Structures are given as structure tokens and as C-alpha cells.
Amino acid sequence: MWRTGPRRGTKPQFWAVQPIFHARPDSLILSSLKPSSSCFCLLPTPTQSRRRPRRRHRPPHPRALRRRRRPSPLSPAGPPRAAPMSSSAAALAWRRSLRDALLRGSAWRGAPAANSAAARLASTASASEAAAGPKKVPPPPRKGRLLTGAMIGLAIAGGAYVSTADEAKFCGWLFKSTQLVNPLFALLDAEFAHRLAVTAASHGFVPREKRPDPSVLGLEIWGRKFTNPIGLAAGFDKNAEAVEGLLGMGFGFVEVGSVTPLPQEGNPKPRIFRLREHGAVINRCGFNSEGIVVVAKRLGAQHGKRKMEETSSSTSPTTSDVKQGGKAGPGILGVNLGKNKISEDATADYVQGVHTLSQYADYLVINVSSPNTPGLRKLQGRKQLKDLVKKVQAARDEMQWAEDGPPPLLVKIAPDLSKQDLEDIAAVALALRLDGLIISNTTISRPSPADTHPLAQEAGGLSGKPLFDLSTNVLREMYILTRGKIPLIGCGGVSSGEDAYKKIRSGATLVQLYTAFAYGGPALIPRIKKAWKAAGSTGFFETASSKADLMGVSPRAIAAETNLLKVLSKAQASSNKQLKRFFAASNGANAQATMVDESGA
């Protein structure tokens, strides 16, 4: 019941409302309505209950006035009072409120009639907007539409051209586009940029060479075929993370490492310094490596992938004795072995590396020339080197190998050696029949013009263009000392096709890059191949004659000796086959004689 009355002092009249709760608690049904001639209408709320009649007014006591507190803004203020209205208006308001409650169920949840009326107006407006349709969006400006259409057209045209263009031309564009990224790497820290480049190559974010190498660049060595003699030196991919990506860029071979038996952080940072004006780098990394266990897992996965591709390929195996490609893919993979800084037995470290990684390598390298590991270069002495090579060769030969045989074993030497040191190394290499030498590692000297640079006083080994003359002189001297009987890999300061060809003419069989590749990026590889092809268009005879001039021997004598060695090797192979047939026949004859004796008995 809600009390209503026209004025104070008169007998109150009531509107009787009976709440009936069905599915929703706010649904009310009006049972009877008896309005007076003039009344005050109080709109109901769901929580409102019957109010008692107002008591007779008594003036409050003064103390009560002092003790009375102001109402809190959080306390309920009671039902709102509406303005006086006529009976017909009150009845109309009741009907509208009840209809809203029955239809939408929102008017009785504490919302007054005014709010429900506003909701009705909003719903009416929304209905009219819906009937009118969606609101029109103004079209974009004419210039924006033209620019968007032009960009889409260029993208479609470029994609269509690329899909139909020559693959070689498109591959050349990719390699040239990498020159735009090289200046960005120059803004980064040297070691961070190096780490970023290795990560990009490991995830395939580098161009892939799809053009075949010219036939004039191919050569055969150690029973394996190199598509070109340009390789990547050790130090770039120390932990064998990006072998597949680096070989895919067009290198003929890639050398990973140096790999140490135990993981080690190397020397403190900063440890890599750029001498950009001279195209050189000084580093004192100190064999930072993740260890042979991690590297063996990565190389094992790549080796297994290579075997799966070979077994699943439909091509028939070649009858040639020369193996196509290597154990990691189309190119040749070399593994550079090092020793731990805290190790007291260097030989044990190298032997452990041979036992763990030789099965995944196409050739192995004993690194005894790094200037950043204390006491390492002492192993280049005649006695120390001879003992080390003997033990490593024995560790390699005691392992079981397939028909391919054990991997070749090479030694990497320093360019800061005296004439006597070079003679001792050449004597050891010839006496122990070493498979090859890499000439050379970084230098602790500061050749001109790098000696004038402010960073030239930093400790570490220097690589790059200033090293070219020094390492090439050592290469030429070692070729003379070994009389051309041991394959040599020229490394140090190669930055162009002309430099690579000079290394070949000085006695090198293969050539390695490092610092120039760090500065020039992937675009340097096809550039060197192109220049080398133009310089070496006369063929192998010119290179052989230039090497022969170093030793004072005629090119014909070298060619005759080479043909003689081939004839002897073929004769030895045929004699081995005949011996096998003879022993097989003799064993069969003995077996038949034994069977005859048993039958006669």
C-alpha cells in the first residue's frame, strides 16, 4: 500500500496494488485503482514495502538538533517524490510503467518512470535509424584511392614478373639487395651484429644461390669434389648453427669452430673491434664455444638429414670415385678443433674432438695458432707439433670408417713465424704426410696502414686487408718448402676476386674469406666468382705454370708427375682387385679339395 492524499489533515486514500511474482520478480499486475480528485503519486520500487501513517508533528528538542547527524551520501535517501499530477495523468503513468515492466523488465529495477520514457524514446530512435538503413561512410579522397590502386598494381605486376623472370637474374637481384642492409649492421655493436648475422643465416633469412658454378672453378681434392674453391674460414659460425644457410649462399666449403671439448665463455667483452677505414678487425674472443656435445648434436642432425635426402632421391648413384658434395649438404664441411683455456693436456682435448666430431666432418683442422689462448702457439714448435699430430692421427685411424675413409687432417698456422719455424713445420708435414695446411690465422702485429688507427693498440689478432701481404708471403714460402706436395688453403685479407686469384697463384689450392665477408655480406661471393672466372679463363695450366715458377720446375714436369701418380694409383687398384680374385679362387679350390677328400673317405 502506498499512501496518497490531497492535503494534510484529510483522510488518506490508497491505491491497492497486489504483487504477483511469476517468472520475473518485477512483473506486477494492477488489481484495482481508486484515485481521488487530486493526489500525489509515488512510483513504486521492487524493494518498497507498506509505509506507516505519518505521526503527528512534534518539534524536535534543541539537544536532538545538536546531536542530529547529516545523512551520509551512501545512505539510502528513500523513494523519490514526484510532482503533483492529475488522476488521469497518474493512471497513464502507471499503465506505461506496467507495460514497460511486462515487456522489457527494466522499468522496475530501480528506474523511475522518467528513465523508462527516455528508454522508449531511445528505442524509438534506434528503430527509426534501423529502418533508415546503415549510416553512409564518406568515400576516401581521390588521391588516396589512386595511390592505393597504384601500389596494388605494382605489387601484382612485380609478382607476375618474378614468377616468369629468369631465376638467375632474380637470384642476382637478391644478392645485390643485401648491400642495402650492410650499413644497418655497421650501426650495431660488432659482436651483436655478428650474432645477428649468424642467427639470420641459421633461420634461412639470407639469399640462396641457385645458379650453378662455372665449370672452370671446380676441382677435386681429398677424394671430394668442390664446386668452387671459395670457402668461409673458422670463427664466423663457431657452434655450427648456420651450416646449411652458409653453404646455400654459394660457398664451396664452410669451416665451423673452433670447437672446444668443454663450453667456455671466452675472454671478457668487448672483444671485437672494427677498423672500418682499413677493412680490418681486431678480435680477442678466446675460443668462445658451446662445447663439442652441442656441436655434435647439431652436426648429427644435419648429417642425418643429408642421408635421408640421399636415400629418398631418385637419382642413381654415380660410378665415379669422387664424392659429390659433403656430409652436411652440397658443399664441404670442415671442423676446426681447439683446446680449453684451463686445460693442461692440449693433446687430450684435440683427441676428444676427433673422437666426437670426425664422423660428421669432411676434413678436420688442428688450430695451434690462435693468439688469444695462452700457450697455444707454443704447439707450433717442431717437437710439440710432431707429437701432437702423431697422437691425433692415431686417434683418427683407430676409429672404424666406411669406404669413404677417415677425414683429412690439416693444421692451421700463424703468419708471425720465423723462417726456421716454417722449415720445421714443413718438415713435420712432409714426414707425417699431413693432408694439408691452412695459412694463415690472425696476426699479433699491426701491418701498415692499420698501425695508425686509434684501436690498433687493442690486444688480439688482426684480420682483414692489412694481413693480405703478410699471409701471402708465408703461403708462397710454405709452398716452396713443401715442394707443392701438400694442399694449402690460403686465408687472410682476401676481399676480392683478384686477391683470391693471387692466393691461388701463390700456391693455394683453396681460399677462405672471413673479414671481407663480414663487411661485404653475401653479395661478395658471386662478385668474387665472377672476377675469378674472368681472371682464370685460361684454365688450370696458367695456375700450374705460376706455381711451378715458384719452385723452378717446368709445368710439363708437374703434369708428367701428376699423370704418373694417376697411372700408379690405377695400377695399384687393379692389382688389389686381382689379388682379391686370386685369394677367392684359392679359397674355393681348397674348399672343393676338402669336399673330395671327405667323399673319398
- Give me 543's grid cell: 695456375
Half-sphere exposure of 191 (CA within 13 A, CB side): 14
> Measured on CA atoms in the order 351, 353, 357, 358, is the torsion positive or negative?
negative
Burial class (CB in 10 A: 0-12, 13-18, 19+), 3: middle
Q: Which of 289, 370, 463, 506 is catalytic?
A: 370
- The answer to whether the peptide bond before residue 258 is cis (omega within 30 degrees of 0) is yes
Q: Is 424 helix (H, G, I), strand (E, B) or coil?
A: helix
| Residue in the structure block whose three cell numbers are 666406411 | 402
Any catalytic annotation for residue 128?
no
User: How many C-beta neighbours within 10 Å does residue 262 have?
Assistant: 16
User: Amino acid letter at 335?
Assistant: V
At 544, the amino acid letter reads A
Q: How far apart are CA 213 and CA 218, in angstroms?
A: 8
Q: Are β-strands 436-439 and 461-464 bridged in parallel, bridged antiparallel, or unpaired?
A: unpaired
346-357 vs 382-397: helix axis angle to the nearest 10?
Answer: 30
Whether residue 498 contacts residue 446, with contact meaning beta carbons closer than 8 Å, is answered with: no
Cα–Cα distance measured from residue 80 to residue 44, given in angstroms and rounded to the nearest whole number? 9
d(CA 278, CA 261): 35
CA distances in angstroms from 103 to 23, 115, 215, 576, 585, listed in the order given = 13, 15, 89, 105, 109
Angle at 93 between CA 87 and CA 96, to 5 degrees: 140
Contact 353, 292 (CB under 8 A): yes
| Cell numbers representing residue 500 in the block | 683470391
Distance, in Å, from the CA atom of 168 to the CA atom of 182, rounded to the nearest integer, reads 22
Three-state secondary structure of 230-260: EEECCCCCCCCCCHHHHHHCCCCEEEEEEEC
DSSP reduced 3-state for 327: coil
Rounded CA separation 272/88 (Å): 95
482 contacts: CB under 8 Å, gap ≥ 6: 426, 429, 430, 437, 488
- Give the three cell numbers for residue 140: 576516401
Alpha-carbon torsion angle 514, 516, 517, 519, nearest 10: 130
Distance (Å, rounded) from C-alpha 365 to C-alpha 373?
17
Question: b/e string for 280-302 if b means 16 or more Cβ within 10 A?
Answer: bbbbbbbbbbbbbeebbebbeeb
Contact yes or no for 191/271 (Cβ under 8 A): yes
Residues with catalytic roles: 370
